[in-house]
Structure 1
Amino acid sequence: MPDQTRLEVALEALAPGRVQSLRLDGDRASVILDATGLSGEGQKALEADARALLAEQGAGEVRVLLTSDRVKRQLVAVASGKGGVGKSTVAANLAIALARAGRKVGLIDADIYGPSQPKLMNVEGSKPQARQKTLIPVPTPYGVPLLSMGQLVAADQAIAWRGPMAAGALAQLAEADWGACDTLVIDLPPGTGDVQLTMIQKYRPTGAVIVSTPQDLSLIDARRAIDLFAKAGVPVIGIVENMAGYACPHCGEISDPFGSGGAEAAARELGLPFLGRIPLDIAIRTASDAGEPPAAGTGPHGAAFTGIATRVAAWLSKGAPHAADQ
């Protein structure tokens, strides 16, 4: 005779978050599973695995019902024209702040050659599981499931891939089992290369957030990224100015090693929303290195990211174009 509690635990381990109900009547077991976000093959695999598990646990007759609510999933690409502007930090904190605002958010680290999200999200060493060759995102302490190439290769292993291999890796991350997530934040590599083109052409982001420092060189490259999205018909949600102003920890004097207001001025010139600025502060760097994103806390730096997320959420809630049924 199957045991109710044991079956519930086993089913939850098999399909985390997907078990809606389990009913036992003698040796007859009836289970309802949420198959939202799964492909046809994924649904078949989930049903087969559930049937096999229930039979192994002693059920003589097994009934499995799959339900699926189509999710209006919006993709937010976080991009920059060049590296070193803090794009990944902005992406991680944006994802957390959106989740804290009530969205069901997943995070894709599409920076194939330089993945940093496992460290930022405090899940270094965690490996994703797979069901029928479909990856299952790794849960993080901040309520934002994550998939990253940094979870699939050794930390010190160089990823020397040509374009098609990188595009194939992106497909594994984007087509994973994201379940009920209604928003995916995508941390793109810097620049305008193969991964960006694949993401735009195949997955059609709802909108893009551009990250730049105030300095002229970064803004030139940021304009290139903006131009790429514009030509592809992907709306730019707005521009974030990172590393804007440095407060001396000893005297409190504010200096601007990367300039001041450049990204805001560029946004105004281009007719794009300015989403906010993040200061150049060692506290952000040390918190990020420790896997403690400021957006997860209540300090002033967290508030800066929350403000940016509020503006992004408002833009998404207006029924932004290119939202895709997944």
Structure 2
Amino acid sequence: MTVTTESLTAALATVLDPEIRRPITDLGMVRSVDVADGGAVTVGIDLTTAGCPLRSTITNDVTAAVSKVAGVSGVHVEMGVMSDEQRKALRTQLRGGVAEPVIPFAQPGSLTRVYAVTSGKGGVGKSSVTANLAATMAADGLKVGVVDADIYGFSIPRMLGVEHPPSKVEDMILPPVAHGVKVISIGMFAPAGRPVVWRGPMLHRALQQFLADVFWGDLDVLLLDLPPGTGDIAISVAQLLPGAELLVVTTPQLAAAEVAERAGSLATQTRQHVVGVVENMSWLEQPDGSRVEIFGSGGGERVSERLGESLGYPVPLLGQVPLEVGLREGGDTGVPLVLSGSTSPAAMALRAVSSALTARSRSLAGRPLGLSPL
């Protein structure tokens, strides 16, 4: 059977770049396709960078796709690197024909839901909640991205099991993907074990680059794991992403709840919307079914009620997540609890919060409706 170039091109169109998540044929990565006598096929692939960490993944995917074409007896993949002109063209293509970076989520036509996960104080499990929500949404078929905006205390790469650093196309950053979630964090750029010692302007610039210089593609949901409190990053998020909604995380403890109220009350000054409250570490379930309320009780409900009073609209308590060893283990191993198949109370609570967030109707505020006067 004669192997045609058309059939091989069609097969290669099914191969997605692992980082950009688009067909390699659309990205100009296929340099050449040659067929020798007997059906031996040689495919030339140009990578975005010489040190692409996913070289072997692309090689395997191309080999598998081309091998399925009838008449192909063997596949050889020759790897090359894009020229400067190719990378510039790709960068412009990915940015929709715009050469300069812009924050896509701040544009009036953006359909991406942006949730900034915040807390009043550290240690309440905000990053664990963010990682598990992102993993749940991605497992449900949504396109999800996570910005680890906690510059000083970054932990999202470990919690989501990110295994390789970002790649670059000119000045555009391609975020690594873990469990179907695109992730960016300062932890991917900082030397291991070294602290990040930055002040306000540097923090603002880092967040701006994470939003504008990273190729996110068409996301359904973007989650930002904010540092605790109402400092520079929280203010920068309000400036750069005025449409972002706040998700407040607290524990049942009264001291934590009082501080969480302040974090949520920032919305009165920034004109942001608080979508709800998540109470973490709500209780420790015993083998006999009884509960030990290690951090007390009522903190999440208190924050919900008090924020509703101060903001003038209902701020629901979206869920109560109990203490579980599996939740901590998932964060340490990079496999979030919600992906383990667990039906534990914590996993069920986190899935319920995810469902509540994704089921909400989208506001029309700031969006063009395509109407014109007659």
TM range (shorter): 0.7 to 0.9
Aligned in 2, Cα 1:136/1:258: closer, same or farther, shift over 3 Å? same
Q: Structure 1 residue 143 and structure 2 residue 191: aligned?
A: no
1:132, distance to aligned residue in structure 2 (A): 2.0
Moved more, 199-208 or 301-310: 199-208
Asked if 1:292 is matched to 2:292, the reply is: no
The Cα shift of 1:230 comes to: 2.5
Match of 1:242 among 280, 304, 318: 280
When residues 83 and 104 of structure 1 are mapped into structure 2, their CA distance, relative to the original with a 3 A threshold, is: same
Corresponding residue number in structure 2 for 1:204: 242
SS at match of 2:258: helix
Aligned-pair CA distance for 1:145:
0.9
Check conservation: 2:119, 2:260, Cα contact below 8 A.
Answer: yes
Report the identity percentage.
Answer: 34
Task: Please state how far the C-alpha of 1:205 moved relative to its aligned partner.
Answer: 3.9
Within 2, Cα distance between the matches of 1:20 and 1:319? 35
Corresponding residue number in structure 2 for 1:163: 200
Q: Counterpart of 2:297 in 1: which secondary structure?
A: coil
SS at match of 2:202: helix
Map 1:198-237; keep pairs closer than 5 Å: 198-237=236-275
Could you say which residue in structure 2 is the equivalent of 1:73? 112
Residues paired across the two proteins, number = 291
| Paired residues of 2:184 and 2:210 also in contact (CA < 8 A) | yes
Whole-Å separation in 1 of the counterparts to 2:367 and 2:115: 10
Q: Return the match for 1:101 from 128, 133, 140.
A: 140
Please tell me whether the aligned partners of residues 117 and 224 of structure 2 are also in contact (alpha carbons under 8 angstroms).
Answer: yes
1:128-152 deviations in whole A, cap 9, x for unaligned?
0111212111111x11110011111
- CA displacement, residues 274-308 of structure 1 (integer Å, 9 cap, x when unaligned): 11010012221122111111122321232211100
SS of corresponding position for 1:243: strand
CA drift of 1:108 comes to 0.7
Identify the range of structure 1 (267-276 vs 152-161) with the bigger mean alpha-carbon deviation.
Answer: 267-276
Change (3 A) 1:97 1:213: same
Matched, 1:18 2:18: no
Aligned equivalents of 1:14, 1:294: Cα separation in 2:
24
Whole-angstrom distance in 2 between the partners of 1:174 and 1:51: 19
Which residue of 2 is the match for residue 308 of structure 1?
Answer: 353
TM-score (norm. length: structure 1): 0.78
CA distance in 1, matches of 2:167, 2:186: 13
Which one has more relative contact order, counting CA pairs under 8 Å at least 6 apart? Answer: 1
The one-letter code sitting in structure 1 at the alignment partner of 2:122 is G
Return closer, same or farther for 1:159/1:72 CA change in 2, 3 Å cut-off: same
- Listed one character per residue, the Cα deviations across residues 36-83 of structure 1 (whole Å, up to 9, x for unaligned) are xxxxxxxxx999416989xxxxxxxxxx99978975222110000110
Match of 1:178 in 2: 216
- Runs of at least 4 residues of structure 1 off by over 6 A? 50-53, 64-70
Match for residue 258 of structure 1 among 289, 295, 313: 295
The structure number with the bigger radius of gyration is: 2
Residue type at the aligned position of 2:316? P
2: distance between equivalents of 1:323 and 1:213? 36
Unaligned runs of 5+ in 2: 34-81, 98-103, 309-314, 369-374
**CA distance 1:14–1:256, shift in 2 (3 Å):** closer
Q: Distance in 2 between matches of 1:67 and 1:322?
A: 21
CA spacing shift, 1:51–1:83, aligned 2, 3 Å = closer
Matched position secondary structure for 2:181:
coil
- Secondary structure (helix, strand or coil) at the match of 1:145 reads strand
Q: Distance in 1 between matches of 2:19 and 2:127?
A: 30
Instruction: Determine if the alignment matches structure 1 residue 152 to structure 2 residue 200.
Output: no
Kindly provide the amino acid, as one letter, of the partner of residue 137 in structure 2. Answer: L
**Aligned-partner Cα distance in 1 for 2:188–2:350:** 25
1:88 aligns with 2:127: yes
Consecutive unaligned residues of structure 1, counting only runs of 5 or more, are 28-44, 54-63
What is the aligned partner in structure 2 of residue 34 from structure 1? none
- The residue identity in structure 1 corresponding to 2:324 is D
Pick closer, same or farther for the CA change 1:97–1:65 going to 2, 3 Å: closer
The aligned amino acid for 1:18 is: R
Q: Distance in 2 between matches of 1:286 and 1:50?
A: 40
Matched residue, 2:78:
none
